[in-house]
Amino acid sequence: MAVVPASVDSIRRAAEILRRGGLVAFPTETVYGLGADALAPAACARIFEVKRRPRFDPLIVHVGDVAALDAVCDFRDARAQRLAAAFWPGPLTLVVPKTAALHDIVTSGLPTVAVRVPEHPVARALLAESRTPIAAPSANPFGYISPTLAIHVERQLGSAVELVLDGGACTLGVESTIVDVSGEHATLLRPGALATERIEALIGELRRPEHSATPRAPGQLPSHYAPRTPLFVVEPGGFDVRAGERAGLLAFAEPDGALAARCAVVEVLSRARDPNEAAVNLFAALHRLDGALLDVIYAERVPSAGLGAAIHDRLERAAAARKS
């Protein structure tokens, strides 16, 4: 794999790789994506292999603008149109009916497809240069922490990706919010980098899917985003480090000094108590903690306003790996 700074030349090279069926990792404003030509089934199949992702977990298709959606979906729904006009380009993914032209491998056989127009200039340039929709899940092995830096992709996916475009740190740090508008009731499938309140202000209250044993979006699987080190979600200050335990603390704001002193590593997400800043730092902090040879990670609960809900969702799923 080659990690190269994003530039006009490297983006052109990346687009060529996509056009001949290869894989390219690239930055978006949320997290790094592992991209393939969404209209090339064999290339999309490789995404599943490289990520060790089960075939039942469908991919998000990225396009440069709404006009480019015709090849992959039916985008006539009024709610989809309103949300797109308000929030695209940006961290919102919409689930809408797919076209027959889009191969079933992309959608895991579902009659719907998840689509989004990203805002990151490198993602936009890559879409423009490759002139094809790009299927791209987060560029991490299935179930593991999402990448917000090119180095995360390099470490996790090894030589399986031909090129990683390095565009620096992702500016939002958690994945897009996913809303399903394919049915009568608009449903929130994943809280994410666009605050749910802003969506509801436009199209009314979103349904929350009931948790079932067979989730509709496998992003709803209880265990996800998980470090290898056991992680527990705790109330701020409401836990104790056991004797002999090498503990890491993921604190929302400045932690209690005595408690922090008993932890081997402390990561503070936002000294200013800003949920947006905390979201930006979340996955990189988890990567560092997971690399610190700890026995346990204690992650403090974050306030749920704004992006706090998305952070909370990721921490609960990271913790669920230990329960299931």
DSSP line for 37-66: ETT-HHHHHHHHHHHT--TTSPPEEE-SSG
The one-letter amino acid code at 66 reads V
Binding of residue 209 to ligand TXA (CB under 6 A): no
Quick one: which H or E segment has residue 287? Answer: helix 275-290
What residues numbered 89-118 form the site for ligand TXA, per CB under 6 A?
91, 93, 95, 107, 110, 112-114, 116
Within 12-117, strands assigned E span: 24-26, 33-37, 60-62, 92-97, 112-116
The correct pick among 14, 18, 46, 58 for binding ligand TXA (CB under 6 A) is: 58
> Strand, helix or coil at 319?
helix
d(CA 42, CA 231): 36
- Decide: is 121 part of the binding site for ligand TXA (CB under 6 A): no
184 neighbors 24 (Cβ within 8 angstroms)? no
Q: Establish if 196 lies at the interface with ligand TXA (CB under 6 A).
A: no
Cβ 81 to Mg ion, closest distance in Å? 26
Q: Is 138 in the site for Mg ion (CB under 5 A)?
A: yes
Tell me: does residue 136 bind ligand TXA (CB under 6 A): yes
**CA pair distance 88, 82, nearest whole angstrom:** 10
Binding mask 3-32 for ligand TXA (x = CB under 6 A): -------------------------x-xx-
Residues that contact ligand TXA, how many (by CB under 6 A): 28
36 or 114: CB nearest ligand TXA: 114
CB of 252 to ligand TXA, least distance (A): 22
Determine if the peptide bond prior to 230 is cis (ω within 30°).
Answer: no
Query: Counting contacts by CB under 6 A, is residue 171 touching ligand TXA?
Result: no
Query: In the complex, which residues of this chain contact ligand TXA (CB under 6 A)?
Result: 28, 30-31, 33, 57-60, 91, 93, 95, 107, 110, 112-114, 116, 136-138, 175-176, 178, 189, 216-219
